[in-house]
């Protein structure tokens, strides 16, 4: 869980990074940036800030803000009934993103996930995305990523997003963020 103060502070920091990155958004969009701690209460280590621009029954376009070295933990977008699951393209707009997917493990990966959770990271094929670089992967692909030393602002273009159904490798994770007074 996070406190309202932490949520407001992360939103403000994310909005500043979005502006610096050239992302154009209305004030009411910035005010509903989702601050996700994945239920771990370690936002600066495991978390992401999400600006949702498009979210229909068919597609989603969102911008993710990663603070320096902040990690979005390993997860996949599973099939749901007739829906094959979310196909996703991640494209870097600003900063540097370390993205990991299935494939030959990269011998000396640049990113280190939070040390006490390292056993919940199972895919280690590294892609380093600089501004303008992107990767598309099919539904149900396990993946995780981390912001570089200055953080990262990245687009995610995808088929329908059903975030609450995402499956995380770490059993401690709860996708829905609980925000408490404070």
Residues that bind its own copies (CB under 8 A): 21-26, 29, 53-54, 56, 58-59, 61, 87, 89, 91-94, 131-134, 136, 155, 157-159
| Residue indicated by tokens 């919940």 | 120
| Smaller CB separation from its own copies, 91 or 125 | 91
Strand-pairing partners, residue 108, are none
Least Å from the CB of residue 9 to its own copies? 23
Output the CA angle 135-38-116, nearest 5 degrees. 90
Nearer to its own copies among residue 66 and residue 173 (C-beta): 66
- The distance of closest approach from Cβ of residue 108 to its own copies in the complex, given in angstroms and rounded to an integer, is 26
Please say which residue, 3 or 89, places its beta carbon nearer to its own copies: 89
CB of 149 to its own copies, least distance (A): 19
Spell out the long-range contacts of 26-35 with Cβ–Cβ below 8 A and sequence spacing 24 or more: 29/53, 33/65, 34/177, 35/2, 35/6, 35/7, 35/10, 35/11, 35/177
Please say which residue, 20 or 174, places its beta carbon nearer to its own copies: 20
Shortest Cβ 24–its own copies spacing (Å): 5
CB atoms within 10 A of CB 132: 8
Distances (CA, A) of 82 to 78, 79, 147: 11, 7, 34
Task: Decide whether 53 or 179 has the Cβ nearer to its own copies.
Answer: 53
Quote the CA–CA distance of 98 and 75 in Å, as a whole number. 15
């Amino acid at each position: 869980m996070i406190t309202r103060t932490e949520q407001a502070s992360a939103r403000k920091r994310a909005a500043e990074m979005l502006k610096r990155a050239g992302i154009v958004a209305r004030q009411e969009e910035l005010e509903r940036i989702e601050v996700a701690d994945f239920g771990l209460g370690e936002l600066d280590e495991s978390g992401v800030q999400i600006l949702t621009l498009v979210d229909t029954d068919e597609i989603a376009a969102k911008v993710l803000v990663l603070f320096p070295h902040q990690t979005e933990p390993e997860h996949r977008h599973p099939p749901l009934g007739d829906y094959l699951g979310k196909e996703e393209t991640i494209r870097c707009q600003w900063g540097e993103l370390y993205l990991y997917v299935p494939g030959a493990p990269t011998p000396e990966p640049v990113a280190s996930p939070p040390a006490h959770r390292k056993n919940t990271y199972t895919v280690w094929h590294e892609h380093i995305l600089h501004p303008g670089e992107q990767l598309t992967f099919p539904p149900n692909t396990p993946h995780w990523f981390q912001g570089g030393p200055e953080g990262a602002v990245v687009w995610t273009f995808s088929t329908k997003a059903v975030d609450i159904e995402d499956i995380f490798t770490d059993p401690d994770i709860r996708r829905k963020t609980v925000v408490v007074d404070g």
